[in-house]
Amino acid sequence: MSASELGIRIGDLSPGAQNAITDVEGVRVGHSTIVRGEGPLVVGEGPVRTGVTVVCPREGLARDEPVFAGAHRFNGNGEMTGLEWIREAGTLATPVAITNTHSVGVVRDALVRAEIEARTDEEDYWCLPVVAETYDGTLNDINGQHVTAEHVLQALASASTGPVAEGSVGGGTGMICHEFKGGIGTSSRRLPEDQGGWTVGALVQANYGRRSRLRVDGAPVGRVLGTKTIPSPFEGEQTQPAGTGSIIVVLATDAPLLPTQCDRLAKRVSIGLGRMGGGLDDGSGDIFFAFATGNRGIPREGLSEPPVTVPIEMVTNEYMTPLFHAAAEATEEAILNALLAADDMTGRDGITAHGLTPELLLGALDEARRDSR
């Protein structure tokens, strides 16, 4: 059940029809989820609680018509490949994938192979895929490297518009957020016509945060839902300290943004993360990516006779403000949706991450709001 279905309104703007990143026309999301085994950790065998999620920015192949893109590193204890060329050229020409920390390489290589095999022309072609990660080793046999190229192909094949599966799916399968079960979450915001009428969608892989700092719609629910009430998966001696996870956020918009404006939009993710109580831990990798589909006709790399110039549009700076608000709100709600969608999960060595159920959240919201009066 999502935040909006519980009657929790985050911010002032309205969501799109699906309240998902796929509300941006043409954007598709796919997952491949790997869950098998139970009991003590045996490296290479399991238990396995992991996967891969892909975000495709266009209706067809992104390489055929790139999009402008940008990124922001809020805290750099993490990885997102391909960012140097994004910073240099400002264009995205591949899907964006998210997985676990030790599977970035195989996912990147699989995206390259998929792009090569999809070619139907003889033009020279190369790509630098964008692949990000968060650490799922508390629940998953991360050193077993169970994500394969086949899982990436499954995620690509399943990528679709419409509703997006959330919680313990895809790259989010083994993730933990604010010491609850975390994972994949999404949300969107549509601007009023007098503010441009554009849509901003967010997809998060939430794997960060301390329980005591969790806030929902400004209320300190984490103080109510302490670890004595709901146990933390980090209480055992063999697990990582709370707060040392990460979050990856992918923003999509149909606004005609330039690369520098995509950079600016990505920075506003930090506002939504901060409202939820994140972004304050040295051990967290908080990396944000934004792409804009509002310009068409950007030529791909490798054309033998590329055009000398192409016409593009840009949003005037005064109209960036509502887009900033949309990015922050969509991020905040996407994190909350990730928490609400994830059920209890027991992984390696019997470690359990408990889900944040609607009943728990609503009760904690009422108590936190009473206490603040």
Type of residue at 58: R
Q: Which of 103, 168, 188, 284 is catalytic?
A: 284
Pairing of β 91-92 and β 345-346 = unpaired
- List the catalytic residue out of 141, 254, 281, 286: 286
- Is 246 a known active-site residue? yes
Pick from 188, 353, 335: nearest CA to 276: 335
> Which candidate, 318, 314, 293, places its Cα nearest to that of 200?
293
- Residue 47: cis peptide before it, omega within 30 degrees of 0: yes
Contact 249, 203 (CB under 8 A): yes
Length of the chain in terms of residues written: 373
Helices (H), the chain: 83-89, 104-117, 149-158, 221-224, 259-267, 269-276, 320-341, 358-371
Neighbours of 360 (CB within 10 A): 18
Specify whether 284 is catalytic: yes
CA gap 337, 2 in Å, rounded: 5
Chain-centre distance for alpha carbon 99: 10
- Among candidate residues 246, 254, 270, 281, the one labeled active-site is 246
Cα distances (angstroms) measured from residue 123 to each of 85, 146, 302:
20, 34, 6
Q: At what angle do helices 269-276 and 259-267 cross, to 10 degrees?
A: 10
Phi, psi (degrees; rounded to nearest 5) at 104: -60, -45
Active site residues: 246, 284, 286
